[in-house]
Structure 1
Amino acid sequence: MRLTDEQWAVIQPLLPHPTKTTRRGRPRRDDREVLEGILWILRTGAQWSELPRAEYPPKSTSHERFQEWNEQAVFPLILAALYEQLEDQELLDLREAFIDGTFSPAKKGATKFGPTKKGKGSKIMIMVDANGIPLAVQVCSARPAEVTLVQETLEASFGLDFPKRLIGDKAYDSDGLDEELRHLGIEMIAPNRRNRRKTQDGRPLRRHKRRWKVERTIAWLQSFRRVRTRDEVKAVNFLAMVQLACILILVRIISG
């Protein structure tokens, strides 16, 4: 997958600059070449061994650089920097946000996965702003109910600003969650489950009809096959792939 010059201009300043060493050996491969190889894996979902040698650096170079950046927490730092750029360009709308989870079947001996009716897998929790721009993402076992994962998702925010309203589906209908978020200055809006007393109605609840924005963003994430189906054994590696997909989404918005 190739980056445009405009997209690379956004990403390049945010990548770490390796310190020079006197150790002899092959010169370090260009970051752009390596990143494009990693993005090819992200997009196609192929194994590292299938990376086309004629177009990208060797699989060992690409995988090692991915691990290096992941261990240095480069991807969360890039997301935080992109969040600031979006704020500076007044592209974020935090008057309301939407939250949802999506299932990714786990292959191999993956960690942080759980059995569900859909099989064994991981859950990706995502929060987006009023325009569908990703604000937070996290990976967890697919077993816990989404209502129990809201606080962790908020803490995984790329920035420090919380939305005024958080909108979810019936899975988020909970008096406990409403009270918990109220202490954070967030109004939780979710339609009531059938067996619940009616606590929300009228104008605020009509905001729920705009939940298609988070569903659209989930579709964007799932267009990356490495996100749609989890191949990484380690949860930190799978999260890095999801974060990298979010980086691409934000970069496309910033670069126009």
Structure 2
Amino acid sequence: MANKSYHELTDKEWKMVEKILPAEQKTGRPQINPRAAFNGILWILKSGATWRFLPERYGKWNSVYKKFQQWIKAGVFENLTRSNAERGEFFTLDSTFCKVHRHALGARKNAPGHETKQDIESSRGGKTTKIHVLLDENFRVVKFLLSAGNVNDNLVALPLLQGLKLKDKVVLADKAYSTAKIRNYLEKQGAIVCIPDKANAKVKHEFDEELYKKRNVVERFFCRIKDYLRISIRLDKLSSSFSGFVCLAIFLLSQRIHQ
């Protein structure tokens, strides 16, 4: 299947995706072409368009949307982000705001399996969602989490770090993460902490300014991921849907960042 656009999967990428897709039903109505459906989802991701504007070459928009939701529930997109990123020498913590379009508001409260507010809340930029990431030096995302836009970064740091092997790893982060709780956790894990002190800090810590410059990798990552317009502006009511798109963008960036 020849690629019609850069956003569509290469044959190599499709092989990676195909092996983790759930088996298709062999009975009932004819199934939608899975590769066409996947490329259709990527078209939505890149263009930022609503589902009804999906080009016909990918299949009926409602069929592709249904497949998108099925794959979310099956963990397909989450599985695509799994990597050997813990081999990196240093990790960077940070977050970015995503503005929420009015179409994303009004999700049914207490929807099964979802938080009531769907990681959407008012902040200085209006209604926003935050993407929190732990990234290695090779643009590989070790872990990411969503939160409402008014959540402090330091409250999400430990959930990002817990469960990872941090011994002898350098952890870079800005002043927002300069708390005793975070520093103590990293030191107990044997990590090398490179976080500047806040201006009003009573206890001063050693800080390597040259090493800290490597933190720009996360800023470049956020610039790249927001090239996918469905992430730059959130249109999804449910966090599970928005998270699925974030996973897809992470997968594509991991495959193409050095091309």
The TM-score with structure 1 as length reference comes to 0.85
Determine the C-alpha separation between the residues in 2 that align with 1:206 and 1:199: 18
User: Which structure is higher in helix share?
Assistant: 1
- Separation of aligned partners in 2, 1:49 and 1:4: 25
Counterpart position of 2:16: 10
Distance 1:118 1:28 in 2: 42
Deviation at 1:220, TM superposition (A): 1.3
**Residue 78 of structure 1, aligned match among 68, 80, 86:** 80
Distance (Å, rounded) in 1 between the aligned partners of 2:46 and 2:237: 18
Say which of 63, 66, 82 aligns to 1:64.
66
Structure 2 counterpart of 1:132, which letter? F
Q: Contact 1:10/1:251 (CA < 8 Å) preserved in 2?
A: no
Residue type at the aligned position of 1:98: T
Aligned partners of 1:11 and 1:251 also within 8 Å: no
Alignment counterpart, residue 45 of structure 2, candidates 42, 46, 57: 42
Distance 1:187 1:234 in 2: 37
Match of 1:225 in 2: 229
Structure 1 residue 167 displacement after superposition: 0.5
Pairwise CA distance, 1:96 = 0.8
Aligned to 1:103: 97
1:6 maps to a residue whose letter is: K
Pairwise CA distance, 1:198? 5.1
TM-score (norm 2): 0.84
1:89-130 Cα offsets, whole Å, 9 max, x none, are xxx642211111000111231621121111111000011112
Q: How large is the RMSD of aligned CA atoms in angstroms? A: 2.1
User: C-alpha distance in 1, partners of 2:213/2:87?
Assistant: 17
1: distance between equivalents of 2:122 and 2:71? Answer: 31
Gaps of 5+ in 2: 1-6, 108-117
Q: Does 1:189 align with 2:194?
A: yes
Task: Indicate conservation of the 8 Å contact 1:133/1:217, yes or no.
Answer: no
Partner residue in 2 for 1:241: 245
Counterpart Cα distance in 2 of 1:68 and 1:170: 40
- Deviation at residue 19 of structure 1 after TM alignment: 4.4
C-alpha displacement of 1:253:
5.6
Quote the Cα distance in structure 1 between the aligned partners of 2:148 and 2:249.
Answer: 20
Other structure's SS at 1:14 match: coil
Are residues 52 and 19 of structure 1, via their aligned partners in 2, closer, same or farther at CA, if it must alter by over 3 Å? closer
Aligned residue type for 1:122: T
Q: Which residue of 1 aligns with 2:148?
A: 141
Q: Indicate conservation of the 8 Å contact 1:189/1:200, yes or no.
A: no
The one-letter amino acid of 2:119's match is: K
Aligned length: 239
